[in-house]
Each structure stands twice: as structure tokens, then as C-alpha cells.
Chain A
Amino acid sequence: MKSNYDILVVGGGPAGALAAKTAAEAGHSVCLIEKRPAIGTPVRCAEGIGKELLKEFIEPDERWISADLQRARIIAPNGATISLDQSRAGNEVGYILDRKVFDRELVWRAAEAGSDVFVKTRAVAPIMENGAVKGAKVISAGKAMDVSADLVIAADGVESKFARWAGLNTTVPLGEMMSCVQYLMTDIPIDPVSTDFYLGREIAPEGYLWVFPKGDRTANVGIGISGRQSRDGTRARDYLDRFVAEHFPGGKIIEHIVGGVSICRPLPCTVADGLMVAGDAARVVDPITGGGIFNAMFTGRMAGQVGSECVSAGTCTKDALMKYDEAWRASYMGKTLERNYKVKDYFITLDDAKLNDLAGSLANINMEEFKVSTLIMELIKRNPKMLLELRALKNSIA
């Protein structure tokens, strides 16, 4: 590892990989460090992504696609099912990836573009000069060293520490941290081309439970519940075990992973002098679905683009880097995050009876295209009992 780079990327997930690839393609010297011994493991993800969203970054490849989906199903607490086929479900229908292979592919492409890559290498502190980030102190396979850089891109995931060390408050409120557990299960009866979302306070309070296929009789079976609903006896794993015992009693668990998903608003500011924050570290996960792969790649690539421009211009001040913060917020992705945050805030207030009512009213509608705005309009038309609160929701996202 050299001691000086133009850009240092902390974290080898999709955000870090796209940032490193983009910056390297722009001709800069780039170093990507990943604290784990292998890119892509352990997986902490349900691995779903919309088809069109994925294609914005990379052509689909069967080497890292576990399932090609045709429909999504939302299952209400009373079992009523809303089935959304490919033509209606938009980005909710897509692929289930094999992140172990997919993440490696992204980092491989960053390396191919010229970025240096070091695994088992963690940042332990930023190097600060006059309040600006100028690199990081790292430990690489046990060896401590300083790596200076004109710019650091922090893409160190939900447990991000780098941005916090540099002075940004990245703390996720307990109620907006989804506490998640997932089993990779095999030998279970599933629809291999459908993602299933189970709703309800008895099933997953302030969250949902998912069954995402990974093959004919194999699926990611996982759950996310709000941190404020989690306590002894009612932790995410307790709910998941109950569901699995009921629905997949003969299934075999071949992987057991846990993870945290933030569903708060993004960081108030994702740049500082010499620093950009991308992906889960920037809290750009979709607050409704908890999906974050696309948003990570989107912000990672944008950080790489703007960061490269600033390095070329010789100024990586907060003011110069603000173009990144403003651009992703103004993008379709940024606006969707803000709108979905408001929708999420409404939906977590619903009890099971209201969820059943809403699901019942949606069961037979035929939307030309499944959009959140269209969904709200349909709900208003079909739920006069909930007119006032739904209208308030519509106004809040208008």
C-alpha cells in the first residue's frame, strides 16, 4: 500500500466499489480498503434489487443472480394477499442477487479500473489537518500506517464510524433502526419467482417479514422490526423463529445472519472538508423497503464523480463537495427517499385491523403502474373511513 493517494475509499460494499471505480476511471490514484477478510462476506442483506435499477449500473449476469422474479406479494395480517405482477410492481419486482459474488464483481471492476484494493484493512482514525480530513490511519493485516489522501469517501456501512470520527453525527435513533435477522433456508415450499412481504404487528412490529427466493426450494427468510419494539422475548429472532416454525417446520437453516438497517432520514449533510459519505453510512436506505443496494451504488458513483472533479480542481473543501450532497438530494433517488420516509411514518402507525382494511381494498384494483402516489390515491378512493388520515398523507407527500 502506498502512503499517499488522491482518493481513499473506506468500505468495499457497493457504494465503495462504485466510488472507487468511478474515481479510478477518471484517472485518479485510488485506494479502497475493506476491514473484512473477504469482499461480500458475511452477507448482511436480503439481496433484492429492481431490474431496471440494477441495469443502470451493470448488465445482469447469471453468475450473481440467484432468482429472476415475476411478481411480488404483500400478505396482510389476516392472510389477504395483494399480488403485483411484473407489469404493476415496478421496482418491487426484480432480482435476488448472490451478494457474495456480486460485491466481488463490483470491486473487481474497481480494481480493473485501476484502484488499489486491500482487504483485512481498517481505518482506525481520520488524519485531520486544520479541521479537514486528509487521509486515515489504517491497520492492514496487523500493520499500522498512515495513508494520506486529498479526499476520503466513507462508505463503511450502517456501523459507519469514519464520518463520526470526522465530526458528523451519524447516530441512528433506536426507533428508526430495523433490527434484522435472516435465515437462508432450504427444503421449503415457496414460490420461486415471487418476493413475499408479510405485514402485521403480530408478525413484524413496525417492519415486515420477507421470503425472497434463492432457488426452487431455497429462500432468504428474514425479518426486520423496529429497535423500539425489540426487547427480551420480543426480539427479531423470536418473531422469525415463530414464523419459521409455523410456515416452514421442515426447512433447514444453512445460513444465519443478522443486520441493522437504518430507516431514518439521510444524514443532514453528507460532506465535510476532505470527506464524502455514501451508501448505508449516509443513511440512504429506502425507509419503506429497507432496500439499499441501488442507493448505495447511486451515491457511490456520484461521490466518485464529484470527488474526482474536486480533486482535479485542487479543492476538496466542504463547499466544493456540496455539489454531491445537493445532487443526490435533488435526484429521483433523493426525492423518493424523502417521500417514502413520510409514507413509512404513516404506515408504522397502522394497527393490524387497518392493514387488513387497506389490503382488502387493494386486492382487486388494477393499477396500470404500481407507484406510491397511485397507491395512495386508490386507498383514498376505497377507504372513506380513513379519508382524513389518508388525505393528510397524500398532502404530506404531494
Chain B
Amino acid sequence: MLTINRDICGYCGCCVAVCPEGALELIDAYLNLEGDCISCGICARACPLGALEVVHEE
């Protein structure tokens, strides 16, 4: 599953633009998981600050 570290996030929109599922959205400069995330990790790669992480459950 995708985790968002809001202490690190800079609300830049990189992750929103690259998400193939349209699962992320910036609302009032606040990043939210809105739709169906498939945990592909593309957003985490694009993030300039490392605010996103895909955590695979054991």
C-alpha cells in the first residue's frame, strides 16, 4: 500500500501527474489518495523529496 509522509511532502504535483491510475490528488495544496492505488510505485519514484513509499505487506 502507498503511504504519504505529509511532513516531507512539498505538494508539488509530480506524483499526481505520473500516476497511471489517477489515484492521487492535490486538494487545497494537500496530497490525498483519492482513487484506486495499485501500488506500482511510480509516484514514489517521481517524488523529489521521498515523501511517498509503497509498503508491501508481509
Contacts and interface: CB of A to CB of B under 8 A. Distances in A.
Contact of A161 (B20, B25, B49): B25
A359 to B, nearest CB: 27
Contacts of B48: 179-181, 230, 235-237, 258-260
Contact of A159 (B26, B28, B45, B49): B26
Nearest to B13: A159
Interface string B1-12: 000000000111
Contacts of B38: none
B7 to A, nearest CB: 13
Given A159-B17, A160-B17, A174-B42, A257 B10 contact: yes
A260 B46 contact: yes
Interface string A6-19: 00000000000000
A253 interface: no
Nearest to A223: B48
B2 to A, nearest CB: 15
A279 interface: no
Nearest to B14: A260
Q: Chain B contact residues (Cβ within 8 angstroms of A): what range?
A: 20 to 34
A180 B12 contact: yes
A155 B46 CA distance: 22
Given A160-B17, A260-B13, A179 B27 contact: no
A368 B30 CA distance: 48
B12 A177 contact: no
Contacts of A258: 10-12, 14, 48-49
Contacts of A159: 13, 16-17, 25-26
A381 interface: no
B29 interface: yes
Interface stretch (A68-76, A105-113, A165-173): A165-173
Contacts of A122: 27-28
B45 A174 contact: yes
Size bin of chain A's contact surface: 35 or more
Nearest to A176: B18
B12 A262 contact: no
A35 B18 contact: no
A230 B52 CA distance: 12
B32 to A, nearest CB: 11
A158 B13 CA distance: 7
Contacts of B42: 174, 227
Interface string A31-46: 0000111000010100
A379 B5 CA distance: 46
Given A171-B17, A179-B47, A180-B48, A120 B28 contact: yes
Nearest to A239: B48
Contacts of B27: 35, 122
A158 B22 CA distance: 13
Contacts of B46: 174, 177, 179, 227, 230, 260
B23 to A, nearest CB: 11
B19 interface: yes
12 contacts: A159-B17, A171-B19, A177-B18, A180-B14, A228-B45, A230-B48, A236-B48, A257-B10, A259-B13, A259-B14, A260-B17, A260-B18
